[in-house]
Structures are given as C-alpha cells and as structure tokens.
Amino acid sequence: MKLDDLSSKEQVFYDFFVWLFDDKRITDKNIDLEKEIDITLAPFYNDPNIYFPKQIEKFFETSAMQRLGRISQLDLSIDLYFNLYHNRLEHSKGVYYRKLEEMVYNFQNPNWKDKVEKENLKLYLIAELIKMAGHDIGHFPLSHAMEEQVYLVMVHMKLLEKELC
C-alpha cells in the first residue's frame, strides 16, 4: 500500500475510511469515497485530488463552510502574487487533506492501528479531521493579521486595567 502508486492510492484511502468508520458508535458506516481536484496540488503531486467520504463532504457543504468560499485566504498578498489566489474553503480542504495524508501514512503502520484500536481513538481521529477542515470558521475578516492586532489591543487594555486598579 503505497500512496505514490496512483493505481492503488484511492483504494488505500477507501480502506482507511472503512477502518476508521468501523466503530460501534458510528451509525453511517457506508463509505462513498469522493474526490475533488485541487489545482494547487497539480504542480507538486502526481495525483492532485483531495479524498473524503460523504460524511465529511456533508461538513464541507454546511453554510458555515460554504461562506469560507467567499473569503480570500491570502488577504492583500494577491496584489503581489495574483496567480496564487485561493479562498478559505479551498485552504480548509487543503489543511484537512494534509492531516488525512498523515493519518493514512500512519494507517499503514500496524503498531499505529493497534494503538488507535486499543485506546478506542477512532472518533478522536474523525474529530481531528473535522477540526482541521473547520479551523478557519470564526476568523476575523483579515485572518491572522487582524487577530494579532486585536490580541495586542486586548493585552494593552488588560495592562492598562491593572494599572488603574
């Protein structure tokens, strides 16, 4: 099972999700593997697809995630690098996929699989994938740059509050 082998890659992802969703606490164990082309992966990967089961596809289709599709990920950088434009939804799918790739590589290690099964961590792994996918929900309009500025203002206000007390 090698992810570099395009003929078996999709099967590896399918097998991973079948294993991951094989938990008595999960009611919908049926895996319909979807894939979506991510053109930002094309220059670097033989396979520029992002794979996800329908259960996670439903998360990407929520209104909160769909709103991310209207927000630029690169803020003002697109003025310098106009050919790099992508939105936060695309970014979120990419972050999800990086975590998925890490898990699938680990999945090929029997010791990792045994540990996950013995410690009953499958739901935790699913939650981790969803957390990675939704990590941008709730960001300020100008992303991390704005968050840092708001944080600095809050710190200064706290310091001023302490001085006044």
Which residues does the chain have with pLDDT short of 70?
1-4, 40-45, 72-85, 139-148, 151, 165
pLDDT the model gives residue 21: 95
Average pLDDT, the chain: 82
User: CA-CA distances (angstroms) from residue 74 to 41, 65, 81, 87?
Assistant: 17, 17, 9, 8
Give the domain ranges of the chain. Answer: 6-138
User: What is residue 42's three-state secondary structure?
Assistant: coil
Neighbours of 104 (CB within 10 A): 19
User: Could you give the CA distance from residue 115 to residue 30 in angstroms, rounded to a whole number?
Assistant: 24
pLDDT the model gives residue 58: 92
pLDDT the model gives residue 104: 94
pLDDT the model gives residue 96: 93
pLDDT the model gives residue 139: 67
pLDDT tens, residue by residue, 86-117: 788 888 888 899 999 999 999 999 999 999 99
pLDDT the model gives residue 92: 87
